[in-house]
Structure formats: C-alpha cells, structure tokens
Structure 1
C-alpha cells in the first residue's frame, strides 16, 4: 500500500481511548493513525505488518561487514600491547 493510498487520520487522546478498537481497525485497514495529546502529536498507531516492513533489516552484521567497501582497503589498525592501566578503587 503506497502512502497516497493510506488515510492518515488524527485522533485526540480522549477519542482514541474511547474508540481504541476503531483506531486499531483503521490502522490495519487504512494506514497509520496519529494520536495527539494536549494538541501535539504524541504517537502513531500502525499495523503489525507495517511495523515489520518498516523495521526489517536486510542481512545481518556479518554480511554488512563482508560487503563493506572498506574490506579491500589497505587500512591497517595497530593495537598497543600495553597492559591495562591500574585503577584505584
């Protein structure tokens, strides 16, 4: 569903509390529902499917590093062999 097909509706907190089931149904059917508190946007209710689609990350950390353009660079990082510093407790 594209953004243009979504009907983003705004609810006051009182309306959202009184009609929570409707807010959820509209989020699932029509797209994100904005809830305001004291006249300011407080939260947006989205369907679980929309949340998963927006937060899904392709691949994993190992793949990210393997595909890095820095992998073939000649950058060399050296570490000191010093012992850990002493801390007074």
Structure 2
C-alpha cells in the first residue's frame, strides 16, 4: 500500500521517503489535506516515460487530425522586405 505523508513530515523524513520509493513503494505527499505529489523510484519514472512515449501519436497522425476543408482563407497584404545588396 502506498504511504501518505504530509508535506512537513516528508520534508523532515525525506531520506525515508526516498528509500521507500527506491524499494518500489510510491510515496504520496499531501499539502493541507490535498494530495499534491508522488515520489517514485527512478526505474518506475523511466518506465512511465517509455510508456507515454510509446503511446504518443506520430507526426503523420497529428497532421491527419487537422481539420480538412477547402474553404479559402484571408490573405494578409504584406510586401516583401528589401534587403540591401552586399
């Protein structure tokens, strides 16, 4: 079961919080009675990062999700800049 620490207790016993997380036991931290964070082992964090990356859409998928319509769009009248010749 995940341990729950108040922020003050977690600060006072930070080594114990980190040691428990390193053993694979997520440590929940609360502030004013609200759950605000979790301390995880580096291994668990890396696993979650890999999982998140594996589920991320590819660029092609993102482009295909863009709205497809044939409506025109308003062009902004901008004149090209003139650069001095070198």
For the superposition of Structure 1 and Structure 2, which TM-score range results when normalised by the shorter chain?
A: 0.5 to 0.7
Tell me the residue number matched to 2:8. Answer: 14
d(CA) in 2 for partners of 1:19, 1:30: 17
State the number of aligned residues. 74
Structure 2 stretches lacking a partner, 5+ long: 71-75, 80-86
Gaps of 5+ in 1: 1-6
Q: For 1:26-66, what per-residue CA distance to the aligned partner results, in whole angstroms no more than 9, with x for missing partners? A: 011032100000011011111111011011123987xx357
Structure number with greater Rg is 2
1:54 aligns with 2:48: yes
Root mean square deviation, CA, Å: 3.3
